[in-house]
Amino acid sequence: MKAARLVLEYLKQNGVNHIFGIPAGSVNAFFDELTQMDDITPVVTKHEGAAGYMAAAYAKYTNHLSVAIACSGPGGTNLVTGAANAMREHLPVVFLTGAVPVSTIGLNASQELDAAPIFQPVTKYSVAVNDVKDVVAEITKAVEIALSGVPGPVHVALPIDVQHQQVPDATLPAPAKRSLITPEAETLARVADELIARDTGYILAGQGIRGAVDSVIELAETLGWPIVTTPQAKGYIPTDHPLLVGVYGFAGHEAASELVASGNARNVALIIGSSLGETATNNYNASITADRFTVQLDFDASVFNRKYEVDEALLGDITLSVPALVEAVKAKKQDSTTSLSVNKQAPSTGGDDYTTKNVLIALQEALPASTRYTIDIGEFMSYMINHHQVKESYTYEINVHFGAMGSGIGSAIGSKLAEPERPVVCITGDGCFFMHGMELLTAKEHNLPILFVIMNNARLGMVYHGHNLQFKRTHTSFEQEPVNISAMAAAMGIPNHRVTEMTDFTPEKVNELLNHGGPAVLEVFLQDNSTPPMGDRVKFLSSFGK
């Protein structure tokens, strides 16, 4: 069996049925083998950067291994951003790159690059396999590393001649399996005792609660404690839950900030599934843990005591730790009822004025509750964090950790392939579209019914407002010549509708675009000079250079 075929067969055995990337000479053996493998679908993207974000979203929503592929040299370097993102998101993605023939290494061959050390800082494991006898061992090792412990990306580079060689022993190893990290019983018992003894506290929920949402809610209800989420975790707790206060951190809610800063829920800070990074902590605000007994639950030991000192660190998979903690608290707590009054963030309401806020609120009102929104990077994301109502869990996807402009477009495609029956809407901007907008063709080629809502303000909106607030001026280059993106969509044969005033926006048109059977574009041409709800982000940036 050829090395390329063996690698693909092993990946298939580990649940892979889509591969995201771009064919080229140095990975031609892989794509040739795929012509004979109907159970693996290559998703040929328009840029390798988008392939990395598609693979990440696919891994997140299928909860298993995903693959991105690119040629040697520039194709591989274009995947590095996706690898760094998967590392931050703890997602098991295999990044496959080609390489020049072994006999030409070091001879300045076309697109020659030693990619393994480049990927090393942004993956759990990166290797170049230059001997066919090592292919089985290395692909097995890479996949096992990707899935083990704290999941994450790996990189394997295979020279083109090695891909075509026959593997001496073509026996496929058994699929890799991840062993969950079990929390220590003694620590669990101590934490339960402390939570009960200290009586009042609050829960800060991060994106690590994915897969354990119901248990986190049950824990909050058992303790009677309010919940605040990070921006990354906004989509997990439905907005109407009585104990959810709101979002804390970048573009968050005043009610959440007041809870954290005030004497309410004073005794304990219970942090679940958050690494307590900049966007999650309102720029490392000390009030999160100040004068509070601090407990942190995570499966990544490196996050403990990184910036905030914790009194108890409970290491383990959140899907095991939180249910176990619920049972421990219930067994020890005599009265599970509470009369705690929670000051929730009031739901945002829309209006008739043609503003970013009103358009986004009207959009959600027109769409099914089960719709998943993939939020790109730009001015509009502040409005989505602050005003969007989460009606069902797992319906909101935003990446303020390592999301590049345009990443929401790739995420929408990966999400739709992972869960074909779920409605998917991408909220993106003109700046993002100009980076990765041609991936609309990828969605068209795979007949994916995704609604791409493009907020077109003819400028780099987040940069524009940030400079105005920080420096009281902006550079003229932030403004762009207005482009009719709907006309671009029409040229691609993609249904579209252009909104230039509030009366152009109707629920009927939104649903027509969503349900026509393939990708569609809703362009919102709107230059809103209102200050986006960015919270303390500008204060943080303004502190530099003074």
CATH number assigned to the domain with residue range 3-164, chosen from the 4 options 3.30.70.360, 3.40.1390.10, 3.40.50.970, 3.30.1490.20: 3.40.50.970
Which among 39, 34, 177, 180 has a CA at the least distance from the CA of 96?
Answer: 34
Q: How high is the pLDDT of residue 475?
A: 79
Q: How far apart are the first and last CA of the chain?
A: 64
User: Alpha-carbon distance 423 to 369, whole Å?
Assistant: 9
CATH dotted code for 185-332:
3.40.50.1220
Q: Please give the distance of CA 176 from its chain centroid, rounded to a whole number.
A: 24
Q: How high is the pLDDT of residue 361?
A: 96
* Strands, sheet with 125-128, edge to edge from the N-terminal-most edge strand: 41-44, 18-21, 66-70, 93-99, 154-159, 125-128
Judge whether residue 61 has pLDDT over 80: yes
Residues forming CATH 3.40.50.1220 domain(s) in the chain: 185-332
Mean pLDDT of the chain, nearest integer: 92
Q: What average pLDDT score do residues 435-443 get?
A: 97
Q: Using the Cα atoms of residue 505, residue 510, residue 516 and residue 517 in order, give the sign of their dihedral.
A: positive
Q: What average pLDDT score do residues 522-542 get?
A: 75
Judge whether residue 240 has pLDDT over 80: yes
Q: Please give the single-letter amino acid code of residue 119.
A: F
Ranking 21-35, 126-140, 164-178 by mean pLDDT, the lowest is: 164-178
**Structure-model confidence comparison of residues 462 and 486, the more confident one:** 486
Mention every residue, 6+ apart, whose C-beta is less than 8 A from residue 85: 52, 53, 56, 399, 401, 402, 403, 404, 407
Which among 444, 221, 419 has a CA at the least distance from the CA of 336?
Answer: 221
Q: What average pLDDT score do residues 75-90 get?
A: 96
Ranking 103-107, 113-117, 432-436 by mean pLDDT, the lowest is: 103-107
- Reported as a pLDDT band with limits 50, 70 and 90, residue 465 is low
Mention every residue, 6+ apart, whose C-beta is less than 8 A from residue 5: 33
- Reported as a pLDDT band with limits 50, 70 and 90, residue 24 is very high
- Reported as a pLDDT band with limits 50, 70 and 90, residue 344 is confident
Q: Report the CATH fold assignment for 356-538.
A: Rossmann fold (3.40.50)
Q: How high is the pLDDT of residue 110?
A: 83
Q: How high is the pLDDT of residue 478?
A: 74
Residues forming CATH 3.40.50.970 domain(s) in the chain: 3-164, 356-538
Token pair in block for residue 17: 């049925």
Q: How high is the pLDDT of residue 266?
A: 81
Q: How high is the pLDDT of residue 472?
A: 76
SS3 content of the chain, % helix, strand, coil (to 5): 40, 15, 40
Mention every residue, 6+ apart, whose C-beta is less than 8 A from residue 544: none
Measured in degrees and rounded to the nearest 5, phi and psi for residue 266 equal -70, -35
- Quick: pLDDT tens for 490-501: 999 999 999 999
Token pair in block for residue 444: 């068209």
Q: How high is the pLDDT of residue 461?
A: 57
Which among 497, 494, 472 has a CA at the least distance from the CA of 484?
Answer: 497
Ranking 154-163, 273-282, 465-474 by mean pLDDT, the lowest is: 465-474
Determine if residue 396 is left, alpha or beta; phi over 0 gives left, psi from -120 to 50 gives alpha, anything else beta.
beta
Judge whether residue 338 has pLDDT over 80: no
- Quick: pLDDT tens for 374-412: 999 988 999 999 999 999 999 999 998 888 999 999 999
**Structure-model confidence comparison of residues 468 and 212, the more confident one:** 212
Q: How high is the pLDDT of residue 310?
A: 97
3-class SS letters over 433-496: HHHHCCHHHHHHHCCCCEEEEEEECCECHHHHHHHHHHHCCCCHHHECCCCCHHHHHHHCCCCE
Q: What average pLDDT score do residues 319-331 get?
A: 97
- Reported as a pLDDT band with limits 50, 70 and 90, residue 536 is low
CA distances from 330 to 196, 218, 327 (A): 10, 10, 5
Q: For residue 294, what is the DSSP state?
A: E
Please report where in the chains the tokens 């000479």 appear, as a residue.
25
- Quick: pLDDT tens for 252-306: 999 999 999 986 668 999 999 999 999 999 989 999 999 999 999 999 999 999 9
